[in-house]
Structures are given as structure tokens and as C-alpha cells.
Chain A
């Protein structure tokens, strides 16, 4: 006899429960059907012990299966096609689970495929201290269809949620179980609208594979929260966000127009490649004005796979400097839903930090962008600069993968016009002098700048031994030095720290 467990199934609608609106016309538009019509199609559940609803004898309240799992059910009053799922519905789902959270060992949500990845991401962020599996599934063909994938998906999802009975590890996360894959919810993207394997996590390994056996990669699972950290649901979200895809020749003025209404609080900007956007002045000016109006811009890539590398190259650094937030390698679904939550309760620099640091395992790296401020201008230059910044407490130097130092609008006046001069940046060595040797291990960048009176944007990846040796858990001081007789100014000095999440 296997260990008894309780699994709660919440039916929200979607293809899995659809049927032609006109039963006599198979080509009529598909519309969602009630829950009880759906569960009768699972052959292995027919042997279960059924308990009917006390009030409505036609309604199934629970089924006790032979494998020890007891199923409890609830459903949306009006099952929805998933393209009509809204943030209010996420709250209904979250509240539905919160209500019975202590009663059950795991949860299954039946959902349409179109916005399943959005819901999976949203619930990941809405649930704090989740200690039990929430498994989202659905199907590409309705469960009544002779070739349906719905039965398999539903039964597998129940097996994962009923971990106490099935002997699988407890997955304290929102996950998507679809076809042969088990995926972290906030890493999941829809990748095909027709294939059985309609979902994938392009930037993260699968949490599990489903074949003859269900195999879970336990190393990848998030840890189960401490018992003192009680489960709760975040209620406040701000959905006044627009999702814009860059395409060649898009006018900056249009972007401006979109962001003008005060109801629009943020945009998700789907840029090219590794976070690239036009670096022409009109475009950057519009970006700057949007950010100055206290609106948020999050940069994610149009490519299914890959990471926004703002701050690694001079062209995209221009966006970071203007206050654009890096979406790193988040899926569009995760970036959006995380933004909904972040917009509602974080302001200013905290908002950028919150977005650029992993909350639920939704990204591979965290980005801490330290801003050391400006120094003089072309009329008023200086010979040296020292400033310190303290990284956020979530920064862990042991997980540092890359450190990148960059100047925005760096200019120099030297002894001889046009001749390149050396501008050196030292880390945690405030006593450095202009004659400190160039092989000093605290030297993190040596920029050769032409003394032409013009502004230069320059970037340098800090050598690994330096960043490891000279960054501790505390403050990070940067000191800028130049050759004798050389003066400089800059609009911004930045240190971007990328650390494994």
C-alpha cells in the first residue's frame, strides 16, 4: 500500500476541456466544457472511489485512486480559452490554491496552452515560500479527441503533484508538465503552437524528463523553504505594461507616443540579438525621456534562446546608462510577469535591482550595476577620481562570473593633442598614483584615449584574477588615474558585476 496523498486539481479551461460549440458540427469553433465532462475521459480514474458533491449529485467532489492519491477538484465558474486569461484570473488561481494549501500535498492546474507559460511565470512570482508542487498542464488536442495528448499530460501531472504516493521528490516550485518534459514555470516558453512538445525552457535545463519513468533532476530543484517561512500570495500587481518588438526602421517618435499616456507605466522592449537596439541619438533621447518620466523599460531579446548582454558592449551599454533594465536571459513571459509584481511595490533603483536579481530561479545570472557617478566636464577636468560603492547584500563574490568596467563620455586633455594617453582604473587601491606600475594586479582597465577633446564610450572586461582577488564582500572603490600632465572628465563610471544566480 502506497503512502496516501492529496492532490488538488483546478480546471481553468483550455483546449484540454474543449469541444465543438455545435456538437453536430465538428468544424464549429471550439469552446470550453465543464470539468465533469473532462474527467470521465481518463481511463485509469474509472476504478477510483468517487465521492459526489453533497449539494449537486451530478458533480464529482473527489476521486480516491488505487495508487494512494486522492484527487480534489475545483473549477473556474466559466472555463476560459487561455487567450482570455487575465491577471485577475491569475489571482483567482492563486487564491484558489491558497485556500486549500494546507489541506493538499500538491496541485495541478489545467490550462490552455496559449498563455500557459505566462500563467506559470506569474504564479511563480505571486507565490512566496512555496513548499509544494504546483504543476500546470493542458493539451494540444481536446481530451475527447481520439488522438488526445490530454490524458497523458493530466496523469503525469497528477503523478508529480502526488509525490508522497508516487515516491518522486517534492518539487517546491511552479512547474509545467507537458509531453515528455517537466520545466520550471518561470523558465518556460511556448515554442510551437501545434507540436506535442509545445513548450521548452530555452535557457535552462529541463527539471525532469517523462518517459517510461519520470526522472527528476534533483540538483536543479529549488530548496524547500524553512517551515517558519509561511506560504503566502502576493496580491498587488501593476499590469500597465506594453510589449513592443523592435523592427528595422521603427521610428523613435512612435515609441514616444506609446509611452505618453500616464496609464502606461512600463514597456518590455524586445530587441535584436544580445539586447541590441539602434544607437542613434533620436532613439536614445526618447529612451532617456521615458526613463526620466519614471517609466520602466526592460530589455529582452527577440531570439528564443540567448541573453541580453547590456553592459558588455559599448552599443548596448548606452541603454543601460540611460536606465534601461536588463532582462538578462529571462523568457518574455517571466520578464513581463516579474515586472507586473515589481512595478507594484518597488521604486527607483530598487526596481532595477529587483528585476536584475533572480527571485525564483528565472534567470541564470544576476546583474549588479554599480554607478560611480560623474566627474567634471570638458571645461573642468581633473587629475584623479576616487569613489566607493557597496553592492547589494545579495551579491556573492564567490559566484562572480564577470566584472565589466565602463566609462560613459570619457574625455581627456593631454600634453599633445591627438596623441593617445592612458587612463587607468584601479580597484580597491585608493593609494594608487599616476606612476603606479601598469602590471599592478589592482589595475582593472587601461584605456588608451586620444586627447582630442571629444567624448569616448569605452568598456573593458576586468581580468579574472583581479576581480576575484580584489572584490570582497564589502565596498568596492574605483580609482581613476592618468599620466602626469593629463586631465580627464566623464559623465559616468560604472562597474557591472555579473554573478551566477
Chain B
């Protein structure tokens, strides 16, 4: 029995299992695989039942490398369907490789109306590793989900991060994630130490009304700008009808080559003429690509590329897919015309929706 909870009524937490290392077990051949019976998952940390009343949902059982946007939709829907079932919060157990993509996706899907925490967690080791992080991360996430948060977060190691501002930085160490542009929103100690930037259940803009928008367009490809990349090599990419837009991952603070045969201006203008947006992200989102003072960044934006502020590359890519799906739907429903597609995408990309940039 764990002290602090002895005589309190336990809060209800919904634990959604999607797969990942945190639940992996070794089979007879010594191969790591997801548990045959996902219910076994809760047994890795029996004490969670002493700190909360945990309902378990085995939503899917996937290595996170194989998670696709329709899985994001399923996760968002699973939370949405249970939003009025009396849960203090939700925990989603997920593989680490693409957790930051999924947490970004759910942040956009559930939107600013979210009035409770949706806590992603996972692990670098399987539960079988005695000194590993599977059990502790799960227990901590169950704790975090009861706290005063009203947003999608990642609880991992000693920190709680905003879900749409996080990226994976290390494939081995227990501090696997970082939030490059803002501080973590809480430290995990005996108490969960919230920072003022964390969104509270009592914040004035928390409406209790979730406007669920769980769709994401496909056909978005992410290309790194590397010295010597001739934009001509990428022309077949944007001419492919399956391609609906391009994310260019820039050097530094959003600079894009603007000199000679390596200049990207014509490529961007060509993509824009095909009605396909070009989004510029940075691997180092500490600085805003919007406020670039360097000529090469200015040239790209002038050619029609969309800057992404200090969003992480993962959040920017997910948001781009989410905006694209929204705008495609608006065109289908004749709310806007195809001619206004790019300007509508630009507006939505530039608008802060769930504090994904500032």
C-alpha cells in the first residue's frame, strides 16, 4: 500500500495502450514482441492500481515506427469518445520513435477546448530490464494525468513536456525527449512541479467543449536542405500527383539557398503554381523562421514558402497535414474555392492553435 493515497478516494484514469517498447516482452525465441495479451501490460506496474482507478483500453498494438496518421485519428477518437466518462485524465502508452508526432497530432485534433491532460508516455527499455524506465514512466504518467493540466503532454523521465513542442533527442538515454524552444511544463519530483506556462484546467480559455478535428492529409514529404542539392532534382517530386506539399528542412534559422543553380526560389514558385504549399522548418526551432533577417530566408518567404515560427519540425509537419486536410474538406464542401487554397493554408499555418509556437 502506498502511503499518500491510503484514505483518499482514487481518481479515475483511462490508460490507452498503443504498443511500443514499454509493453514488449521476450518470446520463447528471445525475440522482443508486443504482449500477446495487452491486458498483461498493466501488470508491469501493479502499484498504478493503488494510486488511481485505472480503466484499460487496448486500442492497438504497434511498434511506433509503424504508426500512421489513421492511428492518430483512432487515438484522438478514443479520447474524445470517453471525454465525459468521469476521467481525471488519459494516459497513452506509445513507442518512443514517433511519440512526438502522435502527441502533436492529438494536440491539434483535440484542440484548445481540451480541459484535462492527455499524457503520452513510453520507455527506452522493456519492462524486463530491472533498472529500466518502463515501470517508472508508466507510474509517473498515471500520476501526471491526475494533475492540473489541460493539454496533450509527454511525460518522460523527469519531465513533462508540451506534446506539440517536443522532439526525440536520444535513442538510448532515459532522458529521450527535449522541448527545444520552451522549458518543460513541469518537473517530476515527489510533487509534480508545474511551471506557469502549463495550461491549467481553470484557465479562462478552457471551454470544456472539444471541437474534434482528427483528420490528416497524406502526400506530404519532408526533404532536408543539404549543400549541393539542386532543386531540379526535386521537380519530379512536386509533379507527382500524389504529392500535396513539401516540407523543406532548412539549415539554421530558416535559411534557404538563394544563389545560382542551387537557389530554391523557382522551385518554390513552381510548387505554388501547382497549388502545392512549401513549408520551411528548422531543425533548431529555438529561433523564429518568421523573423529572419538573413537575405536567404527572406527570399524563400517572398517566393511563397510558409515559415513555421519556432515549431518543431515534427509539429510543423503534423500541423501541415492537419491544416491541409481541413482545407481540402472546406474546398470539397464549397466553403472556400480552390483559388484560395494556398492563402487559407497560409492563414491556418500562421495561426497559433494549441500553443504549438509563439
Identify the A interface with B (CB < 8 A). 21, 27, 29-31, 80-87, 90, 113-115, 118-119, 122, 190-195, 239-251, 253-254, 257-258, 260-261, 263-264, 268, 270, 272-274, 276-280, 301-307, 313-315, 332, 336, 340, 420, 447-449, 458-460
Contact = CB atoms under 8 A, between A and B. Distances in A.
B257 interface: yes
B121 interface: no
A338 to B, nearest CB: 13
A266 B96 CA distance: 28
A257 B229 CA distance: 17
B242 A251 contact: yes
A254 to B, nearest CB: 5
9 contacts: A83-B251, A84-B257, A114-B255, A194-B286, A243-B225, A251-B219, A272-B65, A272-B98, A304-B170
B350 interface: no
Contacts, number: 204
A136 to B, nearest CB: 14
B97 A273 contact: yes
Contacts of A458: 29, 31
Interface string B101-127: 110000000000000000000000000
B224 A193 contact: no
Nearest to B313: A245
Contacts of B230: 239
A115 B294 contact: no
Interface of B: 28-32, 63-72, 96-98, 101-102, 168-173, 180, 216, 218-230, 232-234, 236-237, 240, 242-243, 249-253, 255-260, 262, 282-284, 286-287, 293-296, 298, 313-314, 317
Nearest to B217: A249
B314 A239 contact: no
A405 B242 CA distance: 40
Nearest to B67: A248
B252 A83 contact: yes
A158 to B, nearest CB: 25
A193 B63 contact: no
B323 to A, nearest CB: 15
A81 B169 contact: no
A191 B253 CA distance: 11
Given A244-B223, A257-B240, A272-B64, A194 B169 contact: no
A253 B69 CA distance: 16
A81 B298 CA distance: 13
A270 B228 contact: no
A178 B228 CA distance: 24
Contacts of B257: 83-84, 86
A278 B89 CA distance: 31
Nearest to A258: B237
A247 B314 contact: yes
B259 A190 contact: no
Given A193-B284, A193-B287, A279-B66, A30 B295 contact: yes
Contacts of A29: 293-295, 298
B216 A264 contact: no
A115 B282 CA distance: 13
Contact of A260 (B98, B170, B236, B314): B236
Contacts of B170: 303-306
A233 to B, nearest CB: 17
Nearest to A242: B233
Contact of A84 (B224, B234, B259): B259
Given A31-B295, A84-B258, A239-B230, 15 more contacts: A80-B259, A194-B253, A242-B233, A249-B216, A250-B220, A258-B221, A263-B233, A268-B226, A272-B168, A273-B96, A276-B65, A279-B63, A304-B169, A332-B224, A447-B29
Contacts of B96: 273
A273 B224 contact: no
A246 B236 CA distance: 18
A292 B341 CA distance: 40
Most chain B CB atoms below 10 A, which of A31, A80, A85, A277: A85
B302 to A, nearest CB: 11
B240 to A, nearest CB: 5
Contact of B63 (A82, A246, A276): A276
Q: 4 closest pairs, A vs B, by CB?
A: A243-B224, A306-B171, A272-B97, A114-B251
B295 A248 contact: no
Most chain B CB atoms below 10 A, which of A193, A242, A264: A193
B172 to A, nearest CB: 6
A247 B172 contact: no
A27 B284 contact: no
A113 B252 contact: yes
Contacts of B232: 263
B97 A261 contact: no
A192 B284 contact: yes
A340 B228 contact: yes
Given A260-B236, A276-B97, A278-B66, A83 B256 contact: yes
Contact of B172 (A21, A86, A306, A448): A306
B284 A190 contact: yes
A52 to B, nearest CB: 31
Most chain B CB atoms below 10 A, which of A194, A242, A247, A305: A247
Nearest to A243: B224
A192 B286 contact: yes
A118 B70 CA distance: 37
Nearest to B28: A448
Given A113-B252, A248-B101, A258 B236 contact: yes
Contacts of B296: 81, 83-84
B85 to A, nearest CB: 28
Given A83-B251, A270-B224, A314-B31, A261 B233 contact: yes
B295 A81 contact: yes
A247 B220 contact: yes
B288 to A, nearest CB: 10
Contacts of B63: 276, 279, 315
Contact of A193 (B101, B171, B253): B253
A193 B180 CA distance: 11
Contacts of A448: 28-29
Contact of A303 (B32, B71, B168, B180): B168
Contacts of B249: 243, 245
A336 B226 contact: yes
B264 to A, nearest CB: 10
B147 to A, nearest CB: 28
Contacts of B70: 249
Contact of A248 (B69, B168, B259): B69
Contacts of A21: 295
Contacts of A115: 227, 251
A240 B233 contact: yes
A307 B259 contact: no
A340 B229 CA distance: 11
Nearest to B295: A29
A83 B260 CA distance: 12
Contact of A254 (B180, B237, B250, B252): B237
Nearest to B249: A245
B286 A303 contact: no
Nearest to A31: B295
A458 B101 CA distance: 30
Contacts of A118: 226-227
B169 A247 contact: no
A314 B24 CA distance: 14
A448 B294 CA distance: 61
A303 B171 contact: yes
